[in-house]
Amino acid sequence: MGEIKSLATPRVFIILLVVFIGSFATLYIRSFSNFDLQNFVVHHFVTISLPEESEALVPSVSNISDTSTTEAVTFRDEAPLMHNMSDTELLSRASSVVEIRDFTNEKQVQKVAFLFLTPGPLPLSPLWEMFFQGHEGLYSIYVHPHPSFNETYPQDSVFYRRAIPSQPLDWGAMSMVAAERRLLGNALLDSSNQRFVLLSDSCIPLFNFTTTFDYLMASNQSFLESYDEDTERGRGRYNKLMWPAITIQDWRKGSQWFELHRDLALKIISDTKYYDIFEQFCLPPCYSDEHYMPTLVNIFYSKMSSNRTVTYVDWSRLGEAHPGLFGAKQITREFLNEIRFGTKNVNVTSTICNLFARKFSLDALEPLLLMAPLMYGFEI
């Protein structure tokens, strides 16, 4: 009996040890199945289902189907954009961001950065919410409001926590260009941002996200307008004190509303010499936002731009300092199709002429939402 007791003790110990290990393994497997496996599926097998284009309303565009927006993407909560960097520190850091070009990796999907320059709220945000819905991971949003604007957006809004550190600006002054470069600098910190669109609080998207994304990604050039205008509003704004760095032959004018490829955006924020010249010598009636980038690109980087804008603005009212404003009465099917597929712009090689348009008033929002199926090819 003494031998049996001595043998039973280690056997009992072994049995208890096996039970303990089994229980621990079961808990571990359950934990893995409920957490790690779930994350693995979300991160590697989730795909975005995109709305189909309406063939009757959105004509096909040649050579813009190379980039598919149906690739798997990694979803994540974006951190707030606030920081304590000065403009000099920001632009220096942005210009040194190492770019990773292996976009075959699902974790490095190319994105379009939407840069909103606004004095305060975004009154047309419901239309933009509709535009962005379902395309998380393919875009980034950056908002430059007046520093005194402290209203917040709902937590489920695409504009939630998307404001960057801002500075006051004056219409037509170099502070406007500073704000544009500030937006670019913040967006360039994210190496996956490849295209950069400047927008205002009165801008609207003219096509759905898929069409817009594919159109921009298919182009190897930027869309920045730059032309020589031999009038008081063109060459007449040139200051001879800019010579010899900038000659009258170099001087250009163009729309403020640009769309830039990453390479050109980096070159623009890296400039200090010409920025300082404009800050010193481009004073009213010279408006820096209409001349600085068009002139800089003309001098150094003309081959990087298609020399046109993709944002429609109505300057048909001669003598006006500001473009036309569109209200509820102007929002018709005919009007929207004209600015979406019009051929007034030069160098147009596809059926799409403009991707965005401005200026739209708040009372235009309701009819625009009703026209959303026409513009975006899906039902509300």
Predicted local distance difference test score (pLDDT) of residue 103: 52
Summarize the confidence of residues 149-164 as an average pLDDT: 92
**Residues 229-268: pLDDT tens digits?**
999 999 999 999 999 999 999 999 999 999 999 999 999 9
In a domain? residue 43: no
In a domain? residue 358: yes
Asked whether the predicted pLDDT for residue 63 surpasses 70, the reply is no
Q: What does residue 367 show for φ and ψ, rounded to 5 degrees?
A: -65, -30
Predicted local distance difference test score (pLDDT) of residue 320: 64
Q: What does residue 260 show for φ and ψ, rounded to 5 degrees?
A: -115, 145
Predicted local distance difference test score (pLDDT) of residue 306: 93
Residue 150: pLDDT band (50, 70, 90) is confident
In a domain? residue 367: yes
List the beta bridge partners of residue 111: 193
CATH number of the domain residue 132 falls in: 3.90.550
In a domain? residue 284: yes
In a domain? residue 208: yes
List the beta bridge partners of residue 312: 357
Q: Determine the residue type at 13.
A: F
Predicted local distance difference test score (pLDDT) of residue 172: 84
- Give percent above pLDDT 70 in the chain: 73
Residue whose tokens read 């209200």: 327
Other beta carbons within 10 angstroms of residue 108's beta carbon come to: 16
Whole-model pTM: value is 0.77
Asked whether the predicted pLDDT for residue 75 surpasses 50, the reply is no
Give the CA distances from residue 267 to residues 61, 204, 299, in Å, rounded to whole numbers and listed in that order: 30, 28, 12
Predicted local distance difference test score (pLDDT) of residue 105: 58
In a domain? residue 30: no
In a domain? residue 175: yes
Predicted local distance difference test score (pLDDT) of residue 107: 60
Cα 282 from Cα 172, distance rounded (Å): 10
In a domain? residue 185: yes
Cα 188 from Cα 180, distance rounded (Å): 12
How many residues belong to the chain? 380
Enclosing domain of residue 233: 87-376
Cα 319 from Cα 52, distance rounded (Å): 43
Which carries the bigger pLDDT value, residue 98 or residue 227?
Answer: 227
Instruction: Report the chain's mean pLDDT, rounded to a whole number.
Output: 80
Asked whether the predicted pLDDT for residue 72 surpasses 90, the reply is no
The answer to whether 360 touches 314, Cβ cutoff 8 Å, is no
How many separate domains does the chain show?
1
Predicted local distance difference test score (pLDDT) of residue 78: 62
Predicted local distance difference test score (pLDDT) of residue 90: 95
**Residues 17-57: pLDDT tens digits?**
444 444 444 433 333 333 332 332 233 222 223 333 333 33
**Residues 212-231: pLDDT tens digits?**
999 999 999 999 999 999 99
Summarize the confidence of residues 268-288 as an average pLDDT: 96
Q: Are strands 111-117 and 204-205 parallel, antiparallel or unpaired?
A: unpaired
Sorted by sequence, the CB contacts under 8 Å of residue 95 that are 6+ apart come out as 188, 266, 269, 270
Predicted local distance difference test score (pLDDT) of residue 378: 64
Predicted local distance difference test score (pLDDT) of residue 171: 85
**Residues 294-350: pLDDT tens digits?**
999 999 999 999 999 999 999 777 666 678 899 999 999 889 988 988 744 434 445
